[in-house]
Structure 1
Amino acid sequence: MLNLLLMVLMIAALGGMVVCNRQHRKSTKFQGIALGLLVVVIASGGMFMCRLGTLSVLGLSDITNDDSIDMKLRSAQGYVTANYIHNSLPAQSKILLISPQGNSVFDRALLEQLRDSGAKLVVQETLTQEEKDDPSKLITPAADRLAEAGSIDAAVAKHPDAKLVILAGISPSGESLKKLKLYSLPASRRPRLVIIGLSNLTGWVEKQLENGFFDALIVADLTKSALGITELPDNPLEVFNRYYVLITKDNLRRNRRFFHHQ
Structure 2
Amino acid sequence: LMSVCFQIIEEIGAHLFSAVSSDSTGNTRLARRLLCVKFPALMDIPDPVHHTNLPVKNICALSFFETIISDLRRTLTFFSHSDHTVNVLLEKRLGMGVGRGLESIGTTRFATITISAVSMRRCLPALREACTSNRIVVEVSHRETNHLFIWNSPASLAFEVQLNQLIDVTLPFAKAIICLESLQSTLADVFIYWCAIGASLKKVLADKASNIPGNVKGEIRAIFNRRWREMFEDGPTDAHLSAVYLDPGTS
The alignment's TM-score, normalised by the length of structure 1, stands at 0.31
Structure number with higher relative contact order (C-alpha < 8 Å, ≥ 6 residues apart) = 2
More strand by share: 1
